[in-house]
Amino acid sequence: MSAIRTSLSILLGAVLGFAAVHAASPLASGTVSRADHAAAQKSAQDADIIRSLLVGEFAVQSGDSELAWKAFLTAAQKGRSAEAAGRAFDIAQEADNEEAADQALKVWTELDPNNRQVRLIKAEELFSQGKYDEAGELVKGLVQAARDPAGALDELGGMQQVAPAKDLFYHAFVKAAVDLKEDARAQLVLSELANRARMTPQAAMHASKAMDLAPDSPHVLMKGIDAEFQNDPKKAMKRLEDYLTRHPDSFELRLAYAKSLLRTGNGKKLDEQLKRLEEGRRDDAHSMMLLGMIAEEARLYERAELYYKRYLVLLSKAEKTALLPDTAYVRLGMVKLAQGDRKAAIEWLDRVEGGDKYEAARIKQAELLAESGSVDGACKVLRGIRTTDAKRKMSLDVACAELLLKTKQFTPALDVLIEALEAGPKNPELLYRTAILAVQQDRFKDAEKLFERFIAENPDNPNGWNSLGFLWVDRAMHLDKAERYLNKAMELSGGKDAAITDSLGWLRYRQGRLEEAESLVRKAQNALPADTEIALHLAEILYVVGKTAEADSYIASVLEGEPNNTKAKELRHHRGPAK
């Protein structure tokens, strides 16, 4: 709406200017002169400007940003209108057209170099380019011209995020705020800028100055005390103690004092302050939560538990509140865990049903259940976590499957993974891993189905073609189809994958083409000499073709590394495949 009003104000100004010229023109009386001709030209120019503004406005309404910014820029250049140039700039920026925005800004700057928004944009550009002195001068002028200089300094401080050197940005602002040395708010702004630049002594200096200027302002103390504490804890503690002597009923500053005691490890004084804070606040749920968190961090677990439970009691009595019981359930769970009571921790975490810690609480509950030996319980929690994110849901299912695999529950793990793949988004890596797991568990139909899906979704990946082709070959089935699949794998891999070469050699062995089989598998074995499966393939072929001594050497090599390899022992016993 504001954009429309801006456009209409520009348009109205142009129309009024045109009307004034037309009314004063001698053409109305029919006289013709050089002045009349000039007036006619001016009228035509004004009409052209109005036309550009109308075109620009209609283009904005129809969503044509390209036409809109060009039309307003034309009006700005012809009518020397800074407002129209500013409108062109806004439109270009909203459309993320940097080149157009730069062009419009250039015209805008020429027409109205002292415009506040122009100077703001220029200052930010200069800061981003590392031109701190030039940018600082612009900031100084903007601050001095502002009705609320400290407020302006705070607003302009947001430009620090674009500055490559945060410390140089801070120094530029110190110069810009030279007239605000006695302004507590301005000193807090400088403290924050120094803090962002990781300049701890400077941040403390400005914070101390601000608090010295306004020693009884709770807002100033709350904003500045942390920076002072970082640099000089004793000074900060003394300041808080003096303030509380003058204002003993200030809950916020006493809470800040308690947090400072926590950081300095003064447990005795902290206990006293918690009791003092509790007075008069026992019926305030939010205060109980804050005190509980301080007590928990101080490892005063029994006191923390009392505060959290008090919080829950107050919430149960409240008719209307934005606070959630889940926050206390999480904290009570962590308190019980810290006390070594895992069972109670699990029970508290199980109560969490919402809030921003819902998922984290459920995951922690699952971890504790798994550590307690209840993998099924952990899986139930993980798979029961509510989420609308399909990828997140899949990752939780995978976490469950991994727990099952760690405890050698392969069948349920495979079932969980298959279900996750059916319900979730495409995940080639998980799909392939699950197919391999199905092979390892002799779930042939599942493996076949999973590899077929992998091929359908990843037709240019040779691994799928090879794995399914080898699956058939190893079971001496569908050999013709397996040959097509393995040839496709060879084509996609350029014949450079030793595992695929081995698969094709194994196919030739199944087909009785022993010379080709030996050549291919030997080639694969030379490429991957440490691969047990390829070595056993070659040993079996060598036994069949009568090269027993060489076959024995491969078997011995495998058994040296894997003494319990069943396949190797079987081959050695039968001097080849079992009859």
pLDDT at residue 464, rounded to an integer: 97
Contact (Cβ atoms closer than 8 angstroms) between residue 515 and residue 507: no
Contact (Cβ atoms closer than 8 angstroms) between residue 482 and residue 465: no
Radius of gyration of the chain (CA): 39
pLDDT at residue 34, rounded to an integer: 63
pLDDT at residue 25, rounded to an integer: 45
Closest of 60, 55, 58 to residue 78, by C-alpha:
55
pLDDT at residue 132, rounded to an integer: 95
pLDDT at residue 57, rounded to an integer: 75
Q: What span, in angstroms and rounded, lies between the C-alpha atoms of 464 and 450?
A: 9
pLDDT at residue 129, rounded to an integer: 93
Residue 348 token pair:
């508290």
Q: What is the pLDDT of residues 476-503, one digit of tens each?
A: 999 999 999 999 999 999 999 999 999 9
- Helix (H, G, I), strand (E, B), or coil: what is residue 17? helix
pLDDT at residue 66, rounded to an integer: 82
pLDDT at residue 33, rounded to an integer: 62
pLDDT at residue 38, rounded to an integer: 58
Phi and psi angles of residue 382, each rounded to the nearest 5 degrees, phi first: -60, -45
Low-confidence ranges of the chain (pLDDT < 50): 1-5, 8, 11-12, 14-29, 31
Sign of the Cα torsion 34, 36, 39, 45 reads negative
Torsion angle of C-alpha atoms 367, 371, 375, 380, degrees rounded to 10: -30
